[in-house]
Structure 1
Amino acid sequence: MYQLPEGKYAAYLRKSRIDLENEARGGEDTYVAHEKILMDLCSRYNINLTKIYREKPATSGERISERPEMISLLGDVEDEQWTGILVVEVERLARGDTMDQGIVAQAFKYSNTLIITPMRIFDPKNPDDEEYFEFGLFMSRREFKTITRRLQGGRISGVRDFGRYVGNQAPYGYEREKLPGKGFTLKPHPEESPIVELIFSLYTNPDPEKRMGTGLIAAYLNDKKVPTRRNKKWTVATINGIIRNPIYIGKVRWGARSIVRKRDSKSRPRKPVDQWIMGEGLHPPLIDESTYKQAQEIMKNNAHAPAPRGIVKNPLAGLVKCAMCNAAMILRPHRGKTPPTLMCSTQYCKTVSSYLEIVEQRLIQALREWINNYKAEWDKTKPSDGHDSGDTVVKVLEERLKGLQKQLNELQTQMNNLDDLVERGAYSIEKYVERSKVLTERTDLLKSTIAATESELLIENKRNVAKIEIIPKVENLLDQYYKTDDPKIRNDLLKSVLERAIYRKERGGRWSGMKDQFELLLYPKIDKNP
């Protein structure tokens, strides 16, 4: 029998999709069964487990980035914390793409960490084991892709040919109901289905004066304390999703928001309707088709094209923050002759919007006043030797850094002397451990203080440079700002001298006579305070 080396061992557990389906049919809990197998392995090889990494049952097995326990395991393996990892089969470690499989293989190879399974022990130093391990990962990937294609084909057929509902969760207004044979359909939810009907009736009210948009509907439902499925606030996106969903007229769909994977991320963009897989559902509709079509027509007429990426239309983009919620203030265009406004991006924030042009004018005016005061203060406080107070701060920080470094050197000397004290019998082992712990803690504290001081010194040096450069930069901004109409150029000019600006307006509106009564705090790049 193979003799495992002494050391620390851990185990990794993950449930596959097949395991979850088996449990749903009443089978034994997979983790209980796998723990028994791994405990038998421990007994066979006379080793002890010191940690078990368990993925949550709903965790996807396709990508390492979606498995937090696997990420933790790989980090510990790379740090050479484990002599070996126990797993019921190598396929549990990686079923993802070639890159993920390579990450797993290299982590075990370069750390010389064994992989112990009931069928075989993989030694990364053994070329045959390495080849067999990589081949096992490759076959696991092929099996995974085959299962995925079969499942996707079954879902498409279930929607298109049989009208079954193939989602894992029922949409708002419905509950999942098991069919006598295979699959699920939907039935109306007694509390939620009337809310769906209310949303469509408010959105398609025959009287345009009483008709509500998605934002007003969300606010109305929140005011009435109507709960969402997850007891959160209603949002415009939630209302839009309900209005667009053909499930409410008895249809079933698949692939409306398929997952698009990139190298380090994934997204679920909404596909055009003509790319959906649609079928006649087995469930009763909540909305008649004429109401649904009217809702789609209203939404189409009210829709606006999204802002093109990389094109700046707001000269204050990324600079102005809301004083109440710290969210970004964004540009809101209006139809007709109404000028665009600057509004808080948080849906239910109480901050009152203002015309963008007025905010922009006030910001430039404040910069002009600030630079005039700054120049006067600079001339008044600048010493005759050419050094200002900022140079004094730098000198203080430099002296502090020298003192801290001297203390650190003394501590390191004391650490070095500990071994001599133990050898001469002046310290017992217990006293040595206690003293070593105290000196280590003091050393760590000093190192963190030194790092913070170095960071502060770097910032102060940059601030001193900025103090010299800021006057010509602001003067250039004031001279060039209104010579261009390009929002991108204006935005770049502002960002060259401003860290951010805080906007506050708690009452009044555009037609209240208080359109220019707001507070704007500017944070220039050289100052800690506004």
Structure 2
Amino acid sequence: MYLRKSRAEEHRSLEETLSKHRAALTAFARRQGLTITDVYEEVISGESLFARPQMLRLLEAAGAGRYDAVLCMDMQRLGRGGMYDQGFILDTLKESGTLIITPERTYDLAAELDEQAAEMETFLSRSEYRMIAKRLRRGTLQAVQNGAYLAAAPFGYRKARTGRLSTLEIVPEEAECVRYIFRLYAGGSGCTRIEEAVNAMGWRGRRGSRFNRSTIRLILSNPVYIGKIRWNRTETVRSGVGAERTKRVVLSPPDKIWLLEGRHPPIVSQELWDAVQARRAERSVCVDNHRAACPLAGLVRCARCGRSLIYQGKNKGVPYLRCPTKGCCAGAKYDLVEQALLARLEGLMESVPVSAPPEPPDGPELAAVRRRTALQFARLAERRERLYRLVEEGVYSPTLFSQRMQALERDAQALELAAANAEAPPPPPEPERTALDCWRAAGPAGKRALLRTLIREIVYEKEKKTKPAEFSLTVILRDFS
């Protein structure tokens, strides 16, 4: 039995929905004389198949031949993701000979008509899902354009409603703190001094936490405090294929970020906001994490408080390493720390050879790759023939046929590339290099990766009011035995 909540049941709780479906399917199985051996309850309703762990467990068990059938409320519960996900689910159940049983119908994917009906059901459910998601996005966008504030209330505000729209109202005591922060910064104070002043005056965050520099910077950069709404600030980037698919949230380009008029009252004036932003622009330093990353990031720790040292470009652009704990170890110029570390490691790095990359599989491994590739090509040929048959019989429209054929061709190109890579001759052997050679040729990101292979931790200590190079480094190497 497979249970999953659908979009159409958002008004019910997850527990209520799954309990109701379990009771209905158990009663149906009793009437039909079916024996339920396992129950898979999906508590995470993700769009992607690989974001649903219970479905993956079910497919693995079904592929091993453990079940005669899968019982669910309807075909939509199995999957309404992309074509790849739907095809993967149906192919797995078909190859294992597993039936799909719903209270309305039993699908035997080995039978042509049932397979066509299952494919049509999954296609229609996917279309319904996309339509629901489109309506939700459109409704959200309309609400934001009308001045509604949909995110969690920032410091200085609490959530409120204007008619049917969600907005913000001012929390007087918190708003006083926000104005104080803006005035101090416009008057010439930095984030560190503002942090000290705000904490000294007894202001605390929502959960009783003390303010820090990061919180101050977030407040100073949030246009909500002048009555604006910032929308589409981040976007989700997806990469990878199949089980390797990942997604991460990144900042949107400036031209994609919307700044709209909100319905909530401002806390600071436009003049104060402009003065703060002008000063922030003068003091900002752009850091490219790919080209200017700190090779020692995450490796150097303070000997007293144990926190990781942070990399800051101050004092006319000279980069420094400093402890984030106020009053702890004194900071030092980054170049001096790097030179001291390199002098300590030079002998070790000269004696550590860099191994050549492994050669492609050969013998039994290459034969297994070839068998797997041939099997995948055969499956692609079967999918292509099935597509031609369905469009000839009028089951698929020309538009749907074109979409499915494009997806098939993409899979075929990816498979051809993988097959070509498997058969490629091994690259010529590289001359033997040492870790020191790699260090000299690498950029900041490469140096950081190299250090992480050699060093477990670096302990740093420096007294206040000492000479720039008077610091101590304790280097803890990884175990190479």
TM-score (norm 1): 0.62
| Amino acid across the alignment from 2:130 | K
Give the match for residue 232 of structure 2.
Answer: 255
Give the match for residue 12 of structure 1.
Answer: 3
Per the alignment, do residues 498 and 177 of structure 1 end up closer, same or farther by CA in structure 2, a change over 3 Å counting?
A: closer
8 Å Cα contact 1:501-1:520 kept in structure 2: no
| Amino acid across the alignment from 2:463 | G
Q: Of residues 516, 520, 530 in structure 1, which corresponds to 2:470?
A: 516
Q: Distance in 2 between matches of 1:173 and 1:327?
A: 30
| Amino acid across the alignment from 1:518 | S
Give the match for residue 388 of structure 2.
Answer: none
Map of 1:391-470 to 2, 5 A cutoff?
Answer: none
**How far did 1:524 drift?**
7.2
Q: Of residues 294, 298, 301 in structure 2, which corresponds to 1:322?
A: 301
**How far did 1:328 drift?**
6.6
Map of 1:496-507 to 2, 5 A cutoff?
Answer: 499-500=454-455, 502-507=457-462
8 Å Cα contact 1:156-1:254 kept in structure 2: no
8 Å Cα contact 1:13-1:52 kept in structure 2: no
Q: Share of identical aligned residues, percent?
A: 25
TM-score (norm 2): 0.68
Map of 1:155-166 to 2, 5 A cutoff?
Answer: 155-160=140-145, 162-166=146-150
| Amino acid across the alignment from 2:237 | V
Give the match for residue 333 of structure 1.
Answer: 313
Give the match for residue 109 of structure 1.
Answer: 94
Give the match for residue 93 of structure 1.
Answer: 78
Q: Distance in 1 between matches of 2:230 and 2:84?
A: 33
8 Å Cα contact 1:343-1:352 kept in structure 2: yes
1:259-301 Cα shifts (integer Å, max 9, x gaps): 3333422233223454333432222222222222222222222
Give the match for residue 125 of structure 1.
Answer: 110
Give the match for residue 265 of structure 1.
Answer: 246
Per the alignment, do residues 228 and 100 of structure 1 end up closer, same or farther by CA in structure 2, a change over 3 Å counting?
A: farther
Map of 1:339-350 to 2, 5 A cutoff?
Answer: 339-343=318-322
Per the alignment, do residues 133 and 490 of structure 1 end up closer, same or farther by CA in structure 2, a change over 3 Å counting?
A: closer
Per the alignment, do residues 519 and 110 of structure 1 end up closer, same or farther by CA in structure 2, a change over 3 Å counting?
A: same
**How far did 1:185 drift?**
1.9
> Is 2:222 the partner of 1:245?
yes
> Is 2:38 the partner of 1:47?
no
Q: Distance in 2 between matches of 1:149 and 1:354?
A: 54
Q: Distance in 1 between matches of 2:446 and 2:460?
A: 22
Q: Distance in 1 between matches of 2:449 and 2:254?
A: 42
> Is the partner of 2:314 in helix, strand or coil?
coil
**How far did 1:499 drift?**
0.7
**How far did 1:238 drift?**
4.2
8 Å Cα contact 1:86-1:116 kept in structure 2: yes
Q: Distance in 1 between matches of 2:210 and 2:181?
A: 15
Q: Distance in 2 between matches of 1:235 and 1:70?
A: 43
> Is the partner of 1:258 in helix, strand or coil?
strand
Q: Distance in 1 between matches of 2:15 and 2:347?
A: 75
8 Å Cα contact 1:500-1:524 kept in structure 2: yes
1:462-517 Cα shifts (integer Å, max 9, x gaps): xxxxxxx9xx948x76xx98xx7x763996699499711632234424x4337422
> Is the partner of 1:269 in helix, strand or coil?
strand
Q: Distance in 1 between matches of 2:247 and 2:97?
A: 32
In our comparison, the structure showing a higher alpha carbon Rg is: 1
**Alignment gaps of 5+ in structure 1:** 1-9, 375-468
Q: Distance in 1 between matches of 2:36 and 2:320?
A: 63
Give the match for residue 170 of structure 1.
Answer: 153
Give the match for residue 190 of structure 2.
Answer: 212
| Amino acid across the alignment from 1:275 | K
Give the match for residue 197 of structure 1.
Answer: 179
**How far did 1:219 drift?**
6.5
Give the match for residue 292 of structure 1.
Answer: 273
Per the alignment, do residues 272 and 120 of structure 1 end up closer, same or farther by CA in structure 2, a change over 3 Å counting?
A: same
Aligned length: 396
8 Å Cα contact 2:181-2:194 kept in structure 1: yes
1:23-61 Cα shifts (integer Å, max 9, x gaps): 49xx994334323322232222223444433333xx453
Per the alignment, do residues 267 and 524 of structure 1 end up closer, same or farther by CA in structure 2, a change over 3 Å counting?
A: closer
**How far did 1:190 drift?**
5.8
